[in-house]
Amino acid sequence: MNTLNAMALPLSISLSAVSGLGVLFALLGQPVISGGWFNALLVLAVAAVLALRLPTPWRSGLLALLALTLTLMLRANNEDKIAFYLLLAVLIASFLLPNLTRLVRIALGASILLIAIPLAGLSNSFLFELGIQIGIFAALALGLNLVVGQAGLLDLGFAAFFAVGAYTWGIFGSPQAAQFIGGFPAQGLEGNFLYLFMALAIITAAITGVLIGLPALRLRGDYLALVTLGLGEVVRILANNLDKPLNITNGPQGITPVNRPDVGILADFLRAIGAERIYGRPIDDAIAYAFFFYLLVLVVIGIVLLTNLRLANSRFGRAWVAIREDEIAAKAMGIPLLATKLLAFATGAAFSGIMGAVFAAKQTFVSPESFTLQASIAILAFVILGGMGSIGGAVVGAAAVTVLNLGILKDFSDLLNTWRQTGVSILGYNMSNLPPQLNPAKYERMVFGLILILMMIYRPEGLIPEKRHRVELQEAREEAKEGSRI
Amino acid sequence: MKRFATIALGVLALGVASAQPNVIKIASVSPLSGPQSGLGTAIAQGAQIAIEDAQARFQQLGFQLQFAPQDDQATPDVGVAVARRIVNDADLLGIVGHLNSGVAIAASEIYKDTNLVMVSPANTNPRVTDRGLLNVNRICGRDDIQGPVGAEYAVRVLRRSRLFVVHDKTPYGQGLAEAFAARARELGANVVALVGTEEASNFQPLILQMRALRPDLVYYGGIYDKGGVLVKQMRERGITATFMGGDGLDASDLVKIAGSASKGVLFTTTAGPISTLPRAAAFAQRYKAKFGRDAEAYAVYAFDAANVILTAIEASIRANNGRKPTREQVARAVREVRMDGLTGRIEFDSKGDRKLSDYYIISLREARYPGEVLRVIQFAPPAARQ
Amino acid sequence: MTVADLLSILPQTILEGLLLGFVYAMVALGYTMVYGVLGLINFAHSEVFMIGAVIGLEVFRFWGNPEAPVISNPFLLLLAAIMVAMTGSGIVAVLIERLAYRPLRRRGTKNILVPMITAIGVSFLLQDLTRIYAALRHNEFNMQYRTYDALNAVFMLPMQTTIQVKGIVLIAVSILMLIGLTYLVNRTKLGKAIRAVSQDMQTAALMGINADTIISRTFLIGGALGGVAGVLFGLLYTNVTPYSGVLPGLKAFIAAVLGGIGNIPGAMVGGLVLGQLETLSGTYLPFLTNGNFGTEYKDVFAFLTLVLLLLFRPQGLFGQNVSEKV
């Protein structure tokens, strides 16, 4: 390990430099190394810069170099998802690595979010989709993190608030509202009302949070989990059945098409900067909307993050932590338990409500199937993976699991499919005999389950632990050690 | 360091394929896992045979033809995610799918953006084509005909008057059940109940209601995985009313699930049994040889759907002087296709419905699949009749 | 539709509710016992129940294969299925405790969320493992119990009520199990130890009781009961899927809370009450609301019952009021 530390700087520099040069050659039309090997090199370079101990200026410089390299790489080959994942890793690292200056963080973050990813997304809109999904899930994870991580209240029905937000816009921004409100515009409110309804979704979700919280939050932690699970399921059942006596949600059929805001200006902007050259086709609605929702999610997640950070350091944030650590002590210190818990519930719900409205517009359809227990557990898995109570952790957890589920597992499925069709043998097993039920794309439940179990057993503080939590767990470990010695 | 090396190796093993100029891909999107995988797998396999047949022809045109089966898990969310993933594959020129109308309606909104053509072997909900999308077509019939056809048979031919209508709370099941109930009421029958349930195991509350309401026919709008269990429990509890359903029951797994209770089950379908399709015999043999199980109706429909897309692609390659056509060209060419498929003459109207489709009424008289055809009725879709 | 019609199915409805209630009662016991000793909602118990149903199904499938049956008498076959499922589910439950919960206990974490989240993870993992098993073994998702005429034969009871042989078997087996458990907990040394650990684990340890062994045995007993319930559930409703444990498990837990969590007779009564509630609401709701609110609201009823109960009588129907220890 010592030799590795000594080698850290030269190793990182050389790996980054070689990959940078490689991209330059590839762009000039003379690829030196073939695709797969080059990706491996990039992975090594990014891992080296992120994981090894480097002096601050060098790390900043190398991160910037890698970000540039990866952006160019994505320009050269827009199907290269690995470069995209690495770009995300660099982005997240630039916020989380300890020894970077604020200026470097902001510059790196802004250039990746506003230049690199849009460039990549314009040539391959799936990357936008991935970015949007990560943003949506990150907001949900932040909301649940506030409830579970910061206030210590286990909510197993969190998808309900997402549903409320989605239906708030889904019903009024589509032909649905005209079904039960006489005189309502037949096609629903036009798309630009979305911005108003994002605000309304915050309110409706927060109210739902209070309504669910009022009975649930009087209970102890374990009952709370069960009751929220039940009430979350009640919200889904209601969405699935309120097509009679009055057709409010259109039941299992779901609501479609949900209107989207006007993106004419954005499309004009894309045309003006000559984005057709990157897109490869004239700018159409598909790409304009992908870009629009990417930006919208970015703005919303920014607001959510800012609110969350401010709250965490406020009187309320400290009250939540106090309740999490010891409810009775907190009560003794004069913290109003129910009101403080309700505030956590309502705020968390509001975060997911606003994203729900965005989700409805982005998907252009809303159906109860998006808000099952599995969705609630998925959000919990994001929080646990990242680290309960850790704001950065919630975002990392959401990003990692989303990339795994939407990207890597699906890619792996496609690879297996190719093998199955071409009849490749691996270790003497003919791949064409592989049952389709074993499709890795379907392993979400197992992934969530394993994340929850393994993290709880081996690293309960999560990938990016909250500071306070880390200390506490270390103490607990030491106590346990001492205990066993006795 | 070890962890670092493992990650690097893992990523390396995944590899990344880049777009090749001469590849054309066709995808099937249907549930390959989960409770409805029986029907979904039949769709993927039927399409696979059509594509393997055409590979040599495309080789001569200078294209490598590939097949990419996808799993939508019968849920709209997954379907949309899959759709967004695959529309980015520039080599992909056509979709055979989906199985569930709810999934198809949501996913086709994504395909629409790039005019990626979808030919459905199974989506019978009227809304699938009624939205008038250029890229959406179907080989099968429509629920607003299938449901009423069932109702006419139940009321006029079987002379049933007390009807208990159940659906599985999916867009497909609910749409079908409501179309059935509406027509039955018009014909003067008494629809004693119209209920939906998500339940998969315990149907006792419904069966108790049947005891009170004493229907002489139970109509089930939904898929065999729950319908089979319902009829089995009904018969065990002594409910003898005729059990009837739509094409969601048209699967050999129905007999596997319901066992002897499937005896006498009636269903309407838009995909006739292979025995009634003279040209399908050879297909059925090859299917059995390749996959080791009997071809089901939807395999034949998927085979036809894939062939429609392939015919359209070939036509547009020729129109394009041997170069790869755009998705829009293929979508337009599909509407021009005139061919004889295994399921009869295939021509689409301006909405993507077949100009004429057959509707079959089938009885599982001996609790064996496929059943016995009681009646075949030919119908044109509503738009083409006007 | 007359009131007479509605009343005419009431006895049958109550009977169906009773059958369902016995299944819930047996599953609820598993929850309540584990909660008693560990204070943990063992979310994975619903999967122990489901795995019991799958094991029983496999016994029927292999030993009862009509072409070459190992056991041809359906009653003996059912007995074999119950025994194997008891053993299998019991072992699965013990393994879950060993592999997932014990390491947490060893570490001595004070946060109650940690074991609960682990339990949810185990539950999801087991669902998918069963799904993969079913796919590899039979390439299917819905698994069907074999039906036997001898088990399906119908008896007429008074008031137009009918019951099948398997219904009688279900009631008989459940009552036997419940009596057996009551005896075990109240009259045997093991039962005494379990009660001691429930009351105070550390004091029990000081009295020379090996808490880990007792916890393991508690999981074994709860798991075995869950396994029996699984087989009876499968026999009754014939269809089992990898996800079919989730909702019954949840409702069984509600039943346990209803009876006062940690209270063994309470769980039995709670299960029976919940079975009635669900069947009655599922059957009569559409009639009472003129078809506007149908059978699909029966689960809403179960959940709302839980909420109301916890608000007004959080200790359950039979539980004692425990104040939080400081």
pLDDT digit string (tens) for C144-200? Answer: 888 888 888 888 888 888 888 889 999 999 999 889 888 988 888 888 888 888 888
Task: List subunits contacting chain C, requiring 3 or more Cβ pairs under 8 Å.
Answer: A, B
Q: Which residue of A has its CA nearest to B86?
A: A126
**How is residue B177 written in tokens?**
């059940």
- pLDDT value of position C325: 41
Contacts of C119 (CB under 8 A, 6+ apart): C40, C41, C42, C43, C44, C100, C101
**pLDDT single digits (tens) A447-478:** 888 888 888 888 888 888 877 666 666 666 67
From the CA of C58, how many Å to the nearest CA of chain B? 15
For residue A432, which residues of chain B lie inside 8 Å, CB to CB?
A: none
pLDDT of residue B137: 93
pLDDT-derived band at A241 (thresholds 50, 70, 90) equals confident
CB C251 within 8 A of CB C304: no
pLDDT band at A412 (very low <50, low <70, confident <90, very high): confident
What is the arithmetic mean of pLDDT over A337-344? 89
Burial of C119 (0-12, 13-18, 19+ CB in 10 A): buried
Look at residue A199 in the predicted model and tell me its pLDDT. Answer: 93
**Buried residues in C23-56 as b, exposed as e (16+ CB within 10 A):** bbbbbbbbbbbbbbbbebbbbbbbbbbbbbbbbb
> Do the chains contact at C41 and A435, CB–CB below 8 Å?
no
pLDDT of residue A472: 66
- Dist. CA A320–CA A302, nearest whole Å: 22
pLDDT of A141 reads 93
Q: For A460, which of C114, C250, C300 is closest by C-beta distance?
A: C114
What is the enclosing helix (H) or strand (E) of C264?
Answer: helix C264-288
For the ranges A387-396, A436-445, B121-130, which has the lowest average pLDDT?
A436-445
Does the pLDDT of residue C326 top 70, yes or no?
no
Partner A, chain C 174-193, Cβ-Cβ below 8 Å: none
> What pLDDT is recorded for position A335?
87
* Minimal Cβ distance to B257: which of C131, C142, C296: C142
* Average pLDDT value for residue range C6-15: 87
C241/B197 Cβ within 8 A = no
Mutation for testing the A interface, residue in B1, B3, B4, B100 having most A CBs under 10 Å: B4
Question: How much of chain A exceeds pLDDT 70, in percent?
Answer: 88
Give, for all 386 residues of chain B, the pLDDT tens digit. Answer: 444 444 444 444 443 333 456 889 999 999 887 777 778 888 999 999 999 999 999 998 889 898 888 888 888 878 888 888 888 788 899 999 888 888 898 888 888 888 899 999 988 888 888 888 899 999 888 888 889 999 989 998 888 989 999 998 888 888 899 999 999 999 988 999 888 888 888 899 999 999 888 999 999 999 888 999 999 999 988 889 999 999 888 888 888 888 888 888 999 987 777 777 777 888 888 888 888 878 888 888 899 999 999 999 999 999 988 888 989 999 999 999 999 888 888 999 888 888 888 888 888 888 787 778 888 887 777 764 44
Exposed/middle/buried for residue C320 (C-beta within 10 Å: 0-12, 13-18, 19+): exposed
Question: C246 and A215: CB-CB below 8 Å?
Answer: no
Close Cβ partners of A319 (under 8 Å, ≥ 6 residues apart): A330, A335, A340
Helix orientation angle between B280-291 and B297-319, rounded to the nearest 10 degrees: 110
Q: Does C121 reach chain A within 8 Å, measured CB to CB? A: yes
Query: Looking at the complex, does the CB of residue A452 fall below 8 Å from at least one CB of chain C?
Result: yes
Mean pLDDT of A336-340: 88
Ranked by mean pLDDT, the top range of A244-248, B336-340, C207-211 is B336-340
Cα-Cα-Cα-Cα dihedral sign, residues B86, B90, B91, B92? positive
Residues in B closer than 8 angstroms to A415, CB to CB, are 14-15
Q: Residue B8: what pLDDT?
A: 44
Mind listing the pLDDT tens digit for each residue in C103-147? 888 877 667 788 888 888 999 999 989 988 887 877 777 888 888
Can you give the pLDDT at residue A3? Answer: 63
User: Is A437 touching C (CB cutoff 8 A)?
Assistant: yes
Residue A201 clears pLDDT 70, i.e. is over it: yes
Residue A86 has pLDDT above 70, yes or no: yes
Model confidence pLDDT, tens digit, residues C48-93:
999 999 999 999 888 877 777 787 788 888 999 999 999 999 999 9
ipTM of the complex: 0.87
Using a 10 angstrom Cβ sphere, with 0-12 exposed, 13-18 middle and 19 or more buried, the burial of residue A296 is: buried
Q: How confident is the model at residue A165 (pLDDT cuts 50, 70, 90)?
A: very high
* Nearest-neighbour CA in chain A from B32: distance (Å): 6
Neighboring chain C residues of B32 at a CB cutoff of 8 Å? none
pLDDT for the residue B21? 61
- Picking from A134, A237, A439 by the largest number of B CB atoms within 10 A of its own CB, the best residue to mutate is A439
Q: Where are the beta strands (DSSP E) in chain C?
A: 143-144, 154-157, 161-164, 239-240
Please list the residues that pair with B219 across neighbouring strands.
B165, B244
Contact (CB<8Å) C128/A222: no
Paired residues of B27 in beta bridges = B68, B95
Distance, in Å, from the CA atom of A268 to the CA atom of A262, rounded to the nearest integer, reads 12
Going along A24-142, which residue ranges are E strands?
Answer: none
Global pTM value: 0.87
Q: Which residue of C has its CA nearest to B224?
A: C142
Mark yes or no for CB contact C142/B35 under 8 Å: yes
Please answer yes or no on whether A450 and C294 come within 8 Å at the CB atom.
no
Question: How far B236 CA sits from the closest chain C CA (Å)?
Answer: 7
Search chain C and give the residue with CA nearest A240. Answer: C296
Q: A434 at the B interface (CB within 8 A)?
A: no
In eight-state DSSP terms, residue B3 is H
Average pLDDT, chain A: 83
User: Can you tell me the mean pLDDT for C272-282?
Assistant: 91
Measure the N-to-C terminal CA separation of chain C; round to a whole number of Å: 58
Query: How far apart are the CA of B383 and the nearest CA of chain C, in angstroms?
Result: 33
The pLDDT, as a whole number, for residue B385 is: 44
| Listed residue (A258, A223, A262, A255) closest to A240, CA to CA | A255
- In chain A, which residue's Cα lies nearest the Cα of B199? A237
Interface check C298 vs B, CB under 8 A: yes
Q: Which residues of A touch C122 (CB under 8 A)?
A: 449, 453
Which of B41, B168, B194, B204 is the best substitution to test chain C (most C C-beta atoms within 10 A)?
B204
Whether residue B178 contacts residue B147, with contact meaning beta carbons closer than 8 Å, is answered with yes
Please tell me if residue B18 touches chain A, with a CB cutoff of 8 Å. Answer: yes
Render pLDDT for A122-144 as a digit per residue (tens, 0 to 9): 888 788 888 898 999 999 999 99
**At C323, is the pLDDT very low, low, confident or very high (cuts 50, 70, 90)?**
very low
Q: Which of residues 92-151 of A touch B (CB under 8 A)?
A: 124-126, 129
B260 in contact with chain A, both atoms CB, cutoff 8 A: no
Exposure string (b/e) for B109-127, b if CB count within 10 Å is 16 or more? Answer: bbbbbbbbbbbbbbbbbbb
Instruction: Band the pLDDT of A30: cuts 50, 70, 90.
Output: low
One-letter amino acid of B21:
P
Which among A57, A55, A58, A53 has a CA at the least distance from the CA of A16? A58
Task: Report CB contact under 8 Å: B212, C282.
Answer: no
For residue A90, give how far its alpha carbon lies from the nearest alpha carbon of chain C (Å): 30
Residue C38's pLDDT is what?
84
